[in-house]
Amino acid sequence: MNIYVGNLAYSVTDTDLNEAFSAYGDVSSANVVMDKFSGRSKGFGFVEMPNNAQANEAIKALNEKPLKGRNMRVNEAKPREDRPRRRVQY
């Protein structure tokens, strides 16, 4: 299951996410989304857990819980919708 984790402190790393979620089961991947220009965290990330029961337990346990001073928003990630590409105006 792919899990969305929002409202992250900018200091949270992939390792921090992995450690928080691995307390509830196996973690396939944990990624904080970074801004490609500044290299700074965008304040959200995704965690992939292969076992849905463990993933649901992690969602219930970690939603609204603090990580590095901010309460995380944790829920099942929704599939990304196809959006038309934005036109860049010069």
- What is the C-alpha radius of gyration for the chain, rounded to an integer number of angstroms? 14
- Please name the amino acid found at residue 9: A
The domains of the chain, with CATH numbers, are 2-76 (3.30.70.330)
- Give the tens place of pLDDT for each residue, 59-77: 999 999 999 999 999 999 9
Q: Which pair of tokens denotes residue 39?
A: 């290299």
**Confidence (pTM):** 0.86
Instruction: Assign 51 a pLDDT band (cuts: 50, 70, 90).
Output: very high
Alpha carbon distance 41, 34 (integer Å): 4
User: Contact, 41 vs 33, CB < 8 A?
Assistant: yes
Alpha carbon distance 21, 61 (integer Å): 10
